[in-house]
């Protein structure tokens, strides 16, 4: 199994909703990432988990809450989002968390906040 899966593919939510994005990989990778990508912009790193511990938080607002229940799963809990949070959310994994690791990306969840 050489893929990263993400659910749901699309999500529409109101500003008062609570929802979660899920990411899963079974490649034995020990690092997992959340990126946010707006249209015509590069993917921007949000969080990095290394060996199930949060190692990087790129000053992301607290309305985004990551969780890594085990080495194969990564969640992103969403609460009280703003319309400007609408974007493509990409999950990725890599064998380790070093600088020269190739990241394997999921297809993304396209989020619309109304």
Partner 1 sequence: DQQVKQNSPSLSVQEGRISILNCDYTNSMFDYFLWYKKYPAEGPTFLISISSIKDKNEDGRFTVFLNKSAKHLSLHIVPSQPGDSAVYFCAASGTGGFKTIFGAGTRLFVKA
State the residues that interact with partner 1 by CB under 8 A.
4, 6, 40-45, 48, 56, 58, 90, 92, 99-100, 102-108
Kindly provide the b/e burial profile for residues 20-42, where b requires at least 16 CB atoms within 10 angstroms of the residue's own CB. ebbbbbeeebbbbbbbbeeeeee
**Helix, coil or strand: residue 56:** strand
Query: Minimum CB separation from partner 1 for residue 92, in Å?
Result: 7
Contact 89, 36 (CB under 8 A): yes
Q: Which is nearer to partner 1, 44 or 67 (CB)?
A: 44
Q: Which is nearer to partner 1, 67 or 107 (CB)?
A: 107
**CB of 36 vs partner 1, minimal distance in Å:** 11
With respect to partner 1, which residue has the nearer C-beta, 48 or 78?
A: 48
Q: Measured between alpha carbons, how far is 106 from 60 in angstroms, rounded to an integer?
A: 21
């Amino acid at each position: 199994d050489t893929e990263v899966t993400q659910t749901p593919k699309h999500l529409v939510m109101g500003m008062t909703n609570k929802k979660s994005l899920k990411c899963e990989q079974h490649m034995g990778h020990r690092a997992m990432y959340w990126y946010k990508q707006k249209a015509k912009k590069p993917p921007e790193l949000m969080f990095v988990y290394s060996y199930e511990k949060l190692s990087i938080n790129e000053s992301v607002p607290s309305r985004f809450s990551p969780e890594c229940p085990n080495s194969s799963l990564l969640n992103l809990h969403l609460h009280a989002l703003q319309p400007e949070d609408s974007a493509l959310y990409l999950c990725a994994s890599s064998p380790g968390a070093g600088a020269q690791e190739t990241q394997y990306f999921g297809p993304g969840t396209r989020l619309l906040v109304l």
